[in-house]
Amino acid sequence: MPGRPGSPRTEYRRGARYRRHESAIYARQSHVMLSEPADTPWAEPAGRRLAEGNGVRAVFLSLLRDGAEPDAAAIAVCVAAGSGRKEAVDRLGQFSGLWEALQPGEEADGVDLLIAHGYFEPDVALDDRQQAALAHLHAALQAVPGVPSGAAASLSTQLRTGRLVEARQQLERLGGQRWSDNTRFWTAMRQADEILGSLPDRTLPTE
């Protein structure tokens, strides 16, 4: 019997598809950069829909319904969310082969993967206090022998996009599990914590 939307069975199947697509992308990924488009005609409607309060996932899917190709829709939403066009194109090049790995009708799984990897989130300019906190977080990372690949990917996105509080929280969890006796790591974390206690994270609607 098919699972209902939102049921554990449905969510399990959706998660399994997501993991299958992610594995396929990594297996086929060539890091070939896409050609930068001369224009991004879908960015204007994407920006308007984001301004109306729609999340990047909903806007991406709406552009597909309007006739945009997946690459064009992704770049348009990325640009509308604040990234430069060249940056959006280059970042999408890291997901070469994504749409070919999907079956027709599975484009939502593709955009979920892009969201999970922070594709739509623009780089941020940090102020002096944020830069100091970022330096302490980098020092904490440099004090450890290695970070699991999944955590490393999410930390990279968090640090790139100014989600420093979230990055600190993830590092604290990892530290408790892996580096509880690493003095250099915890010294850098305490220094970051002194700054980040009063700094909010940036967030971008995704639904």
71-85, 115-129, 145-159: least confidently modelled range = 145-159
Which one has a higher pLDDT value, 51 or 96?
A: 51
The verdict on pTM exceeding 0.85 is no
Minimal CA–CA distance to 116: which of 81, 147, 80, 156? 156
Q: How many residues does the chain have?
A: 207
Q: Rounded mean pLDDT of 163-183?
A: 91
**pLDDT-derived band at 154, boundaries 50, 70, 90:** confident
**pLDDT-derived band at 25, boundaries 50, 70, 90:** very low
Burial class from Cβ neighbours inside 10 Å (0-12, 13-18, 19+) for residue 51 reads exposed
Q: Which spans in 29-148 are helix H?
A: 43-51, 56-65, 70-80, 85-92, 107-116, 128-142
CB 21 within 8 A of CB 106: yes
Q: Rounded mean pLDDT of 147-171?
A: 86
Question: pLDDT at position 39, please?
Answer: 55
* pLDDT tens profile 103-132: 888 899 999 989 988 889 888 888 899 999
Among 12-16, 34-38, 120-124, 141-145, the range with the most confident prediction by mean pLDDT is: 141-145
92-96, 149-153, 182-186, 198-202: least confidently modelled range = 198-202
**pLDDT-derived band at 158, boundaries 50, 70, 90:** confident
Q: Rounded mean pLDDT of 160-173?
A: 90
Question: pLDDT at position 148, please?
Answer: 83
Question: pLDDT at position 1, please?
Answer: 41
Which one has a higher pLDDT value, 23 or 136?
A: 136
**pLDDT-derived band at 31, boundaries 50, 70, 90:** very low
Task: Locate the domains of the chain by residue range.
Answer: 8-116, 128-196
Query: Would you say residue 184 has pLDDT above 60?
Result: yes
CB 79 within 8 A of CB 40: yes
Q: Which two tokens stand for residue 92?
A: 């999408």
